Each structure stands twice: as C-alpha cells, then as structure tokens.
Amino acid sequence: MTKLSVNVNKFATLRNARGGNIPDVTQAVKDCEQFGAQGITVHPRPDERHIRYKDVREIRPLITTEFNIEGNPIPSFIQLVLEVKPDQVTLVPDAHDAITSNAGWDTHRFARELKEWVSIFKDAGIRTSLFVDPDPTMIRAAAITGTDRVELYTEAYASMYGQDRHKAIEPYVRAAQTAAACSLGLNAGHDLNLENVAFFHRTIPGLLEVSIGHALICESIYLGLENTIQMYLRRLADF
C-alpha cells in the first residue's frame, strides 16, 4: 500500500489569516493520524506564512506515524531539521517568495551541494528525498548524491489528467522505472487529488508515499476531514 502523508500547511494558513490558534495545528496533526493518515508533512518557509518553525517543534513529539519535513536547505532549515530529526527530509528548490513549489531540482547543476546536504542529514540518521521532475537524467544524477528517495513533482500529470491521463502519466512511468533501476525509493506529490490519485497509484510501480495537502484540505471542507482521509486511503489501497 502506498502511504498517505497529509501536509498540514493549510491548517496553519487558515489560522494565520485570522490570528489566534483556530484551527489548532497540533490538534489537526493528532486528528489526521487518528483518521488514518500514515504520515504528516510540513513545509516551513522562511517567511512562516503558514507552518512556523515553532509549529514544527511542537508537532514533532505528537507524531506517532512518520514525520516528513520539506523545504529548501537554507541554513535555518538545515538547523531546524537537525534539531527536530524527522523520519524524512525532502529537499525542495523553492525560492523564498514562491507561492508553492514549482520545479524539481536540477540535480546536475546542484550535484555538489545536494551531495553535501544529503550527507549531513544521513549522518544524522534522517532519510532523504529529493524533489525532482519526471526526467530520467535528473533521477540518475539524484542517485549519485546518495539520496534514499526521490519525490516526483506531479503538477504536470495533474494538469493533463483531464485531457489524456494515459499520456499524462507516461513520463512518470519512465521516471519510476529509472528510480527503481537506480535503487531509489519513490515518493510523489503536488496537485494530486481524489480524482487523479488512484490512477497514478495503480500505474506507477514502486510508489511508496504520496504527500497531499492543498487538495485534501479543500476537499475536506465539503466531505469532512475523516471521510476525506479515508477516501484517499481506499484509492491508495492495493487490491
């Protein structure tokens, strides 16, 4: 079964919009796990416009499944991850002013830096994953850094899914095959939702984890959080 890691950033976005502590992000984490989530993801950014570094520290001792922290490996992020020691760190090349992640790593251009960052986290006993486009050359270069996994950036798949899902998923199948040939674990995320995640899961070999936040929280407004998480789990189940 592909694991579902719920990204709780949007709970913090809603809280920050009004001030105070509603919704309570720590309670949201506990609820998501109680409702069946097999992991929790956060993506703290330097401006703390959603998840704050303080939230990350408060969330860590509450998590009973897996904790995944995403982000650009700037010094403050590296320090936070080494302090909190999540189960997994996913390195993402997002600019400080990016609304959301919008590209994977150029693993050729940043090969030296990525190898250094991966080494730092692995020495601390933290599993590493690199956010990449579904490009076999980038995945092969990612393997050279020593990373444990890659996370496929799925925005292109999600955008094309409604037009031609078979064509949309072709690059991701090739990417998954390349990752397997390089002995890399495979994660995926970005714009996956209740409509498109089941086909992705069924078609991509070796998919270990999906990280879903924005769509899941939006769907929860209509369907309820517990029901939405359970719907994702059914779509990710192996039959």
Domain around 206 = 3-235
- Asked whether the beta carbons of 24 and 55 are under 8 A apart, the reply is no
Antiparallel, parallel or unpaired: β 39-42 and 67-71: parallel
Residue 101 has pLDDT above 90, yes or no: no
Instruction: Clarify whether 190 is annotated catalytic.
Output: yes
Length of the chain: 239
In this prediction, residue 239 has a pLDDT band, given cuts at 50, 70 and 90, of low
Stretch 120-144: mean pLDDT: 98
Q: Give the pLDDT confidence score for residue 168 in this predicted structure.
A: 98
For residues 125-150, average pLDDT: 98
Question: Is the model's pLDDT at 230 over the cut of 70?
Answer: yes
Alpha-carbon torsion 185, 52, 19, 35, what sign?
A: positive
Q: What is the pLDDT, as a whole number, of residue 186?
A: 98
Pull the structure tokens for residue 110.
């940043």
pLDDT of residue 2: 96
pLDDT of the residue at 28: 98
What's the confidence (pLDDT) of residue 68? 98
Q: How many domains does the chain have?
A: 1
108 among known catalytic residues = no
What dihedral do alpha carbons 27, 60, 99, 91 form, nearest 10°?
-150
How is residue 35 written in tokens? 């409702």
CA distances from 228 to 10, 65, 132, 172, 232 (A): 15, 18, 27, 25, 6
Residue of 33, 43, 66, 201 marked catalytic: 43
pLDDT at 98: 58
The pTM for the full model equals: 0.95
The catalytic residue among 33, 66, 70, 151 is 70
Say if residues 111 and 145 touch (Cβ distance below 8 Å). yes
- pLDDT tens digits, residue range 153-178? 999 999 999 999 999 999 999 999 99
Percent of the chain with pLDDT over 90: 93
CA nearest neighbour of 216 among 203, 205, 227? 227
* CATH number of domain containing 14: 3.20.20.70
Nearest to 94, CA basis, from 200, 9, 180: 9
Active-site residue, from 190, 201, 209, 219 = 190
Q: What's the pLDDT tens digit per position in 39-63? A: 999 999 988 999 999 999 999 999 9
Q: Average per-residue pLDDT in the chain?
A: 95
- Determine whether 201 is an active site residue: no
State the pLDDT at residue 1.
81
Residue 223 is predicted with a pLDDT of: 98
